[in-house]
Structure 1
Amino acid sequence: MTARTAKPGKVLSFGLKHLAYLLIAFIFVLPLWWAIVSSLRPNGAIFADIFPFTPKALLPTPFTTEAYTGIFERGFGLIIANTMLVAFVTMIAGLIVNGAAGFAFAMFDFKGKKIVLSAIIISFMLPFEAIALPLYTVTQQLGWLDNIAALIVPSIANGLAVFLFYQFFSQVPKDYAEAARLDGVSWLNILLRIYVPLSLPTCISAALLLFIFQWEAFLWPLLTMPSQQFKVIQVGMAAFQQQYQTIWNQLFAVSVITALIPIALLLPLQRYYVQGLAGAGIKG
């Protein structure tokens, strides 16, 4: 009899818990949903059902894809391609540079190692605005203004990515490297054949971090591309807000695409991403 009376209580608790989950999810998803709906409505109809609010505000009626057609006619496809190019080149180069640095800090002892490592860790805690001016000065002296190199090269070395690799490689038993060295294997082959295959979650985490940093960059592309002939996505969004009026449905369409592309990358890889950031790995 006790089991029978307890069962409805468990069902009720389960139902209330998942209802709360759905409510919280709805609150977080609602802004994105409204942006998607607004991007699929005519520009003049976006705010028609907001004041006063009616449920039609959350439905794409009347339905139209003119906003998406309009932004691609205005060259938004090229802006996406530019950003993808910058993000993927930074991501690949960053994995090589930051992975090698993390491996070196984990494997070798050298004078000033703790000081250098501490400086690297502190570097990713600094706001970008604090280093923007000296970085701009160096970029200008190198003649990289209005050059794609100005967007990619300063973003390759990343303190957080170096720390992630260092943290993981430090947890791998050094017996693997010592045994390989006894067999005459070079340090490069040890890194590529032993450590890299073990560090898949960390590689994915670092790659996604580098991609997202570039995808969300606004101030630096604005500074280093004064002519704006090579636009990236965050800077390109500003083009859809004109001086005297805002084309709201196109602005929402751009925002939806800008948000959904990183989400499409993060969702299938979120397990590895979280695992890498949490410092999960092999412990000796």
Structure 2
Amino acid sequence: MSGTKAFTDTQTSERILLHPNVSAKKSTKNKSKKILLYIVHTVLAFVILFPLFFAIVSSFRPLEEIFKYVSPISWKTFIPTQITLDAYINLFTERGFGKIFFNTLYVAILSVVFSIPINSMAAFAFAKFEFKGKSVLFVIVLITFMIPFEVISIPLYSLVDQLGWIDSYYALIVPGLANGLVIFLYRQFFMDLPNSLMESARIDGASWWTIYWKIIMPLCKPVTVSASLLIFVFQWESFMWPLIATRSDNYKVIQVAMSDFVTEHATFWNEMFAASVLSTIVPVILILTLQRYFVQGIVGTGSKE
């Protein structure tokens, strides 16, 4: 084997020496591909990040200067000539943004806390138990996250109204607890866990609750992080349902509050940009901090049947 390998390496070396132009052309081609790839990535990054950069810069400008230097483009377009914190101060002193920020964070956190057990237990049943109508029910679960929310908004509002939950935290939290996508992610992850693990625990006298809570869930850290981020970001960015389900300022969330910056007489762009920056900070910090687990959770839930 070693002689064959040495002979092959010798042949390869001879080819390179006999045909140096081929190797040089191949190397040049690879470098050209890398340069082109870097250029494409740079352009895409600029396209994605420029609106965020413009929003951050504009949030520190006076209202009358936001679009003053847009045309023609100059260094003043990207660097404020007059820096002010008025937009951020007005958010918390005049618009009650502290309460709005708390409402959004409160709703998102409670949604994660209650949604993870509900969806993971449903997924555990779909993955490891056999019962009548299991396939049909799972298809219905899949359909739920494919239907646009606008289709169910009116019947959902009617149901919540009959329960007396309109303009309350219940209306903002409870309808979003059961999530078909999260059930799907957990179910796909559970399908990979060996049944022998649960059978051994059952032989030792463990209940199904003990198996789920003390054996299965500790193994699901990546998918739990992924599911938690999905739920949190979904609630954090929710606009239509909070707009429908709440009426008073006591339960107003960030996305709904941002619509208040547009009035009949003026649009408060500096405050809108400031609110946009603040509403982006929390999800970005969470995703950047937990992105490793998020990727592991998504990759680890491939299609299994």
Q: Hey, what's the Cα distance between the residues in 2 that align with 1:122 and 1:280?
A: 18
Q: Which protein has the larger Cα radius of gyration, Structure 1 or Structure 2?
A: 2
Q: 1:185 to 1:226 in 2, by over 3 A?
A: same
Matching of residue 268 in structure 1 with residue 264 in structure 2: no
Matching of residue 119 in structure 1 with residue 133 in structure 2: no
Offset at 1:51? 2.1
Matching of residue 96 in structure 1 with residue 109 in structure 2: no
Matching of residue 194 in structure 1 with residue 204 in structure 2: no
Aligned pair partner of 2:67 in 47, 59, 63: 47
Q: What RMSD, in angstroms, separates the aligned Cα atoms of the two structures?
A: 2.0
- Residue 48 of structure 1 aligns to a residue whose secondary structure is coil
Q: Hey, what's the Cα distance between the residues in 2 that align with 1:228 and 1:43?
A: 25
| Counterpart position of 1:35 | 55
Aligned pair partner of 1:138 in 128, 141, 159: 159
Q: Which moved more, 1:222-231 or 1:66-75?
A: 222-231
Offset at 1:96? 0.9
- Residue 243 of structure 1 aligns to a residue whose secondary structure is coil
Aligned pair partner of 1:225 in 230, 237, 246: 246
Report sequence identity in percent.
Answer: 45
Q: 1:193 to 1:6 in 2, by over 3 A?
A: farther
How many residue pairs get aligned? The number is: 282
What pairs up with 1:205-220 in 2 under 5 angstroms? 205-220=226-241
Letter of the structure 2 residue corresponding to residue 149 of structure 1: Y
Q: Hey, what's the Cα distance between the residues in 2 that align with 1:75 and 1:278?
A: 41
Offset at 1:226? 2.1
Give me the TM-score of the superposition, normalised by structure 1.
Answer: 0.93
| Counterpart position of 1:182 | 203
Q: Hey, what's the Cα distance between the residues in 2 that align with 1:20 and 1:127?
A: 33
Q: Hey, what's the Cα distance between the residues in 2 that align with 1:279 and 1:163?
A: 12
Q: 1:121 to 1:8 in 2, by over 3 A?
A: closer
Query: Contact 2:188 / 2:301 at 8 angstroms: preserved in 1?
Result: no
What pairs up with 1:54-93 in 2 under 5 angstroms? 54-73=74-93, 74-93=95-114
Offset at 1:103? 0.7
Matching of residue 166 in structure 1 with residue 187 in structure 2: yes
- The answer for unaligned runs of 5 or more in structure 2 is 1-16
Residue deviations 1:173-226 (CA, integer Å, cap 9, x gap): 111001111111111111122211111111011111111111111111111112
Offset at 1:171? 1.1
| Counterpart position of 2:44 | 24
